[in-house]
Structures are given as C-alpha cells and as structure tokens.
Chain A
Amino acid sequence: MTRLLTPNLVLGAALVVLVVGMAALSLVWTPHEYAQMNMRDRFAPPSDIHLLGTDQLGRDIASQLMVAARNSMTVALIAVLMGGSIGVALGLLASAIGGWVEDLIMRIADIGFAFPALLFAIMLSAVFGPSLWVAVLAIAFINIPVFARVTRGAANVIWTRDYVAAARAAGRGKFAISRDHILPNVAAPVIVQATIEFAIAILAEAALSYLGLGAQPPSPSWGRMLSEAQTLMFMAPQLAIYPGLCIMAAVLGFSLLGDALRDLTDPRLTRSRQA
C-alpha cells in the first residue's frame, strides 16, 4: 500500500488541502476585512498585524489572497460541474446511440476544442459585459468537449462488456443502461479528468481576471491582484509574488493530484507497479 503514496499524490494532495483550506477558512474568518483600505498603512511589511503586509491601498494581502482563493475555487467548481455534466451527458448519448449521431457529436466537440477559451471569453464579455459569470460560462464551455470525449471513449469500452449484453437481454433500454451501468463504470476516468480540468479552470480564471474579464473590483482575484501589481513591480515585487505563488500552488496541486489519480486507476500502470 505504501507504493500507492507516490510523491505526486502526496505533494498534490498537500497543495490542494492548503488552497482549499484557505478558501474554506475565508468563509468564516479572515485576519482583516479584505476590502478595508488604510492609506496611512500602505505597503506595510509583514508583521503580527498584517501577516503578509498590505498593498498599495493599505489592504491586508493575506485576507485578499484567502478570499481570492474562495472566488477561484467557486469559479472552477461551478465551471467544471457545468461543463462536466453537459460533456458527460453528451458523451454518454454519443456512445449509446452510435452511428452518425456519435460522429456528429464528436465532430462538434472537435470544433469546440478548436475554440481558444480566452477568445471565447472576450467574445462573451463583448456581448454581456465583463463579469465573473462570463468567466464561468467561458470555462464551462471549453470543458464540454473535453468531458464528452473522455466519457465517450470510456463508455464505448463498457458497452462491449457482457454485463451490458445481459442488461439488454433483460430488456433494458439504452437510457437505463447508460444510467445504471455505463455511468458508474466511467466515473473513475471522469473524476480524474475533472481534477485536471479543475487546475486548468483555475489558471483560466486567473488569466481572464488578469485581463479584466473575470472578477470585478472590489472582489479579489489572484489574476487581478497580479495585474494591479504589474505597475508596481519594481517598488513592491511581493504584491505580484504572493498571488503568483497561490496560482502556482493551486494549479500544480490539482494537476499533480489528477496525474496521481490517473496513475492509480490505469490498469496498465497498476500491473507494472506490481511487477
């Protein structure tokens, strides 16, 4: 069992616990009110009062990072859940029906793959105005084809199993078989993919907020903190370093966790690990 605790899994899980912990804690407690400005206490160095110091408006950096973590997690969670459920449904449908319907769904997914997320978000904000919800929708949209493809690939394997043939012999329809047999058995690769997509969603949210298309002031976001710190790079580099480190920790954590979960659920790798 100790072989299962790979460095990827341990480091990934630790970073995920750290970032999610930050986000969860911000729901009930932050060291300071995150939006509280104090012009006499600008650019304060780290101290007992301000753990990581204050920014150009005298706001507590640690509090902002915590609330930004919560915003980032919320965006990623909603986007991955939305994109994932639509994508999984489409993948199950494509696999269940087959033939030209499957081809059509997968070719549409290919077109979706070709859409750059940032361009799509810029397009959406041109129409609806920039907001966090635009970011959520854009990230959800790019997740749909990813989940559709993963689900359809795994589902096509499950459809060839004898227990699916037995369910057909039992007189069950394609919808019932998809729900009762295919979905539970494709859950493992889908969950792995969701973890990796979560990392990508965090990065996308940071990029959109950096461009001003995500979280709007005063709602804090790692990406916007980064862009606001840009003009102050030489005066107060720590303002860029802290949110940058947070983005790295979150993205690296979920990516490593996703990779580790994939390794654990991949039978070929399981065999080589036992050998």
Chain B
Amino acid sequence: MNALLQVRAVTRRYRMPRSSILRRGPVLTAIENVSFTLERGRTLGIVGESGSGKSTLARLIMAFEAPDEGEVLFDGKNLHALSSAELRLLRRRFQMVFQDPWGSLDPRHTVSWSIAEPLRATGAGEIGRRVDEALSQVGLRPQDGSKYPHEFSGGQRQRIAIARAIVTRPALLVADEAVSALDVSVQAQILNLLMDLQEDLGLAMVFISHDLPVVACLADDVLVMRAGQAIEAGPTAALISAPRAQYTRALLAAGGLMP
C-alpha cells in the first residue's frame, strides 16, 4: 500500500518583479529539493522561521500551485499531473486549515454555507445532516450554522474552519499556522480538538508552525526547514532529545525546550 503523501525532491522558484525593463526580475528559490513521506493517520510537524518556505510547501501539497521540479504524490497519484476534473474530485480527500480565522471564512456567507462548500463542489448528498455533524464534531451547535462569521470569536471561527475541512472526511489535513493567530488559552483548545479529531477520524496531518513546542505536542515526526531547505528530520522525541543541526538547537532554546 502506498504512503498517503509523498513529497519527492520538490523545488519551487518565484520570479520577482523586474526592476528594469531590460532585465528580467531576479529568481527567488522558496523551496529547494525537499522530500518527505507521511503515512496514514500520522502527523508530520514542519517547523521553521518565517520565510523558510513552510507555507509554499503547504501550497504545493494543496495543489494551489505546481512545483518547478519534483512531484507530490497523494495516495500514489501525482497531484500536478492530474486533469483539473480529476484533481477537483480528489480534493475532498485532502483539506486545509488556514492561519487567519478572520480571513478564511467569506464574510458574505453563513457558517453552514461555508462548511457545506466542499460537499456542494463534489456533489455529495445529505448536505444538511453532514454539516450539522461537522459542527458538533468541532464543539459548535447546529443552530450556529445560520449565523455569519463576524458573530464568532477567533477560536470559534477556527473551529468553523476545521469543520469545513473535515466535512468531506478527508484522509489528510494540512494545518498552516492553524493556532498561531489565537490566544494561548484558545490555542490549547484548538490543539486538543485537532488531536481528538485525528484519533476519531484517523486523519493524517501536516502541521506547520514556527513554534517547535506546539509542534512537539502533537507531531509524530518533525521536519525542520530553513531558507527553503529541509535541514533536519526525524521522530519528534529523538529530534528534541538529540538535535543534530545547530539551527534546531536554536529553535529548541527559543521555545524553552533545551535538550
């Protein structure tokens, strides 16, 4: 059986805006030759400072954009080689939770509408019942569905975003800085919710954060990124107790987790 997600030597470059009409803009390499494998039901934490390429990696995994080199295999299928119709159908199996709970919900639609969106797009049945079920799974009431996003707090909005991500029963959840915009007390609630959901639904998760202690509390494996490159990877416990790279030690020290 295939691994759920295989990222093979992906490189992504961006061309910066030209500064002169005669010269093309400089090229920025956001990710260079990054590889990892994620098995079903496991959690991979990706840590690194801002600008290290974590979010670009998330965008590649979500097939929002294509890598310049390398490939992303989901359940053995190369995401960037699928037809757009095949990709759209496959999307229900990998979903994402975004960093900013204020920007990830359309202010013009009700909560139920937003949660139902992935179901509607793939023509699923029993939309109402599944939306109510997703709301209760994230600790909200079915009647909250008829409200608009601005009526909720940041933590509640992140619960709504998680409900939208799990309503299609995905196999993989990509969480890009999913708790870093929240208060510390709310962060703990959302982390607990993610761990509970992972257990109940058998989700695999790519959990991206700049905060190594947060990653350490729910990841099975950790990948440390810096300046677009994977500089260290391994099981969480081993990585924390015996970091090899100087940079990992610095991240541990910054998080108050000295080995």
Contacts and interface: CB of A to CB of B under 8 A. Distances in A.
Interface of A: 161-163, 165-173, 176, 180-181, 184-185
A166 B122 contact: no
A167 B108 contact: no
B92 interface: yes
A167 B105 CA distance: 10
A180 B99 CA distance: 22
Which of A169, A180, A184 has most B Cβ within 10 Å? A169
A168 B88 CA distance: 8
A168 B58 CA distance: 14
Contacts of A185: 106-108
B98 interface: yes
Contact of B117 (A161, A165, A172, A184): A172
Contacts of A181: 106, 108
Nearest to B117: A170
Interface residues of B, number: 28
Contacts of B164: 166, 170
B244 to A, nearest CB: 35
A99 B157 CA distance: 34
A166 B92 CA distance: 11
Top 8 closest pairs, chain A to chain B, by CB: A170-B118, A162-B104, A171-B91, A171-B88, A171-B121, A184-B108, A163-B106, A162-B98
Contacts of B106: 161, 163, 167, 180-181, 184-185
8 contacts: A162-B98, A166-B98, A167-B121, A169-B91, A170-B121, A171-B122, A181-B106, A185-B106
Nearest to A161: B103
B39 interface: no
Interface string B81-97: 00000011101101110
Which of B87, B89, B95, B103 has most A Cβ within 10 Å? B103
Contacts of B92: 170-171
B103 A173 contact: no
B161 interface: yes
A169 B94 CA distance: 8
Given A161-B103, A171-B91, A166 B117 contact: yes
B64 A165 contact: yes
A179 B33 CA distance: 38
